[in-house]
Each structure stands twice: as structure tokens, then as C-alpha cells.
């Protein structure tokens, strides 16, 4: 069994900066995930995530991204495209994911496979909840993550769940 981590990162207090967190919450409402898939709301953490990232077969990272494309554009980056992406574009955090991955590499604990699913945000205003435009694109975005899990052999099972915390907080 692969040890898969789906890691959502971002700040829910800054509108679409929280895309990763909202996407994960929706994913868990739409699907029951197999036991070998762990879902973590990483918020804006750095070092705290080192332990979670260590020794995984696969990490699916979900985040807001700035690629220069139009807002709402979704991207999937994997393999060689990813380290280069991280090297030139890391967060202004004390230690970004790029640094964490380098530390894990130094220790021989880096994830074997790393895939990023991202969406270019519409708004980064100080506001709780997604922009209407990003919210409208969420179901499709979440499906892409579900497809990724299917590809990894960890097929999620559809369910009708309750509203999650962050969804309810916005309402």
C-alpha cells in the first residue's frame, strides 16, 4: 500500500489564498478516502510539516499558485517540473516547502513522488471564504484531485457529507 499524503496549504483569512484548505474540505465531504490516504490541513505552516512530509510514497500538494496565467487557471505539476518551480518561486515564509523538501532530501526522507495541484487565485483580499469565481470552480478542481487519487490506485468512494468547518464559517 502506498503511503499517500494530500496536503492542503494556504491562508483561509485571505480569500483565495485558502484554495488548498477549502479544496481538501470539499474533497472529504464528497468522498470517503481509503485508509492509506492521509489528508492534512497544513495552513501556512513551515517546519511543523516536516514530520508529516517525511517518508511518504507520494505527496499531493494543493495550493494557490501564481503562474502568470489568468485567474482560475488550474495546473498540475509533477516530476522534474516541480523542483524548478519551487526553486524560483517559494513563499516568503521562514522556511517554505522548498526548504522542507531540501531538508528531507538531506536526510534521505523525501517523498518518492510529489505532485502539485494548483489554481491561480482571483482575489487575495483579507476576507474569510473563497471568491465567488473560485468557489464556482471548486467542484471541478476537487474532481482533478480525486482523479489523481484514482490514478495512484487509492480510489475515493463518493459520499454525501456534511458541510465542513470553513464552509460553515463563511455561510
Partner 1 sequence: MARITIDPITRIEGHLRIDCQVDGGKVTNAWSSGQMWRGIEKILEGRDPRDAWIYTQRICGVCTTVHAITSVRAVENALDMAVPVNAQFIRNMVIGAHGVHDHIVHFYHLGALDWVDIVSALEADPVAASNLAQSLSDWRYNSPQEMKAVQDKLKTFVSSGQLGIFANGYWGHPAMKLPPEVNLIAAAHYLQALDYQRIANKIVTVLGGKTPHVQNLAVGGVSNSINLDSQSVLNMERLMYVKTLIDQLEEFVTQAYLVDIAAVGAFYLDWAGHGKGVTNYLAAPDMPMDEMGTKFDMPGGYIPNGDIGQFEQITSFQDAMFRDSVKESSKHSWYENGSDPLHPFQGETNPKYTDWQEDGKYSWVKSPTYKDEPAQVGPLANVLTMFAAGDESTKKHLGFVIENAGAIAKTEIPLAALHSTLGRHAARAVRCAVMLDSLKRQWAALVENVATGDTETYRRPEFPKGEIQGFGFHEAPRGVLSHWAVIDNGKIKNYQCVVPSTWNAGPRNHKDQMGPYEASLVGNPVVDEARPLEVLRTVHSFDPCLACAIHMVDTESNEIVRVKAL
Question: What does the binding site for partner 1 look like in residue numbers (CB under 8 A)?
Answer: 9-14, 17, 41-51, 63-66, 83, 85-99, 101-103, 105-107, 118, 121, 124, 126-128, 165, 169
Q: Closest separation between CB of residue 90 and partner 1, Å?
A: 5
In which residue are the cell numbers 534521505 written? 108
Closer residue to partner 1, CB minimum distance, 90 or 155: 90
Q: Hey, what's the cell of 43?
A: 495552513
In which residue are the cell numbers 464559517 written? 169
Q: Closest separation between CB of residue 56 and partner 1, Å?
A: 15
Closer residue to partner 1, CB minimum distance, 21 or 37: 21
Q: What is the C-alpha separation between 85 and 82, in angstroms, rounded?
A: 5
Closer residue to partner 1, CB minimum distance, 110 or 152: 110
Q: Closest separation between CB of residue 155 and partner 1, Å?
A: 26
**Three-state DSSP class for 37?**
strand
Q: Closest separation between CB of residue 117 and partner 1, Å?
A: 13
- Tell me the β-bridge partners of 37: 4
Q: What is the C-alpha separation between 167 and 171, in angstroms, rounded?
A: 7
Q: Round the CA-based radius of gyration of the chain to a whole number and report it.
A: 15
Amino acid at each position: 500500500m502506498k503511503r499517500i499524503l494530500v496536503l492542503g496549504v494556504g491562508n483561509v483569512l485571505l480569500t483565495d489564498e485558502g484554495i488548498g484548505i477549502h479544496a481538501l474540505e470539499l474533497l472529504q465531504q464528497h468522498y470517503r478516502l481509503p485508509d492509506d490516504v492521509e489528508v492534512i490541513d497544513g495552513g501556512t505552516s513551515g517546519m511543523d510539516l516536516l514530520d508529516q512530509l517525511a517518508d511518504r510514497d507520494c505527496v499531493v500538494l494543493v495550493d494557490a499558485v501564481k503562474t502568470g496565467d489568468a485567474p482560475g487557471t488550474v495546473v498540475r505539476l509533477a516530476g522534474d517540473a516541480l523542483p524548478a518551480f519551487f526553486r524560483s518561486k517559494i513563499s516568503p515564509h521562514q522556511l517554505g516547502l522548498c526548504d522542507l523538501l531540501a531538508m528531507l532530501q538531506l536526510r534521505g526522507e523525501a517523498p518518492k513522488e510529489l505532485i502539485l495541484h494548483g489554481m491561480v487565485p482571483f482575489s487575495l483580499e483579507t476576507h474569510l471564504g473563497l471568491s465567488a469565481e473560485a468557489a464556482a470552480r471548486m467542484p471541478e478542481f476537487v474532481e482533478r484531485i480525486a482523479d489523481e487519487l484514482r490514478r495512484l490506485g487509492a480510489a475515493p468512494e463518493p459520499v454525501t457529507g456534511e458541510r465542513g468547518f470553513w464552509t460553515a464559517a463563511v455561510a
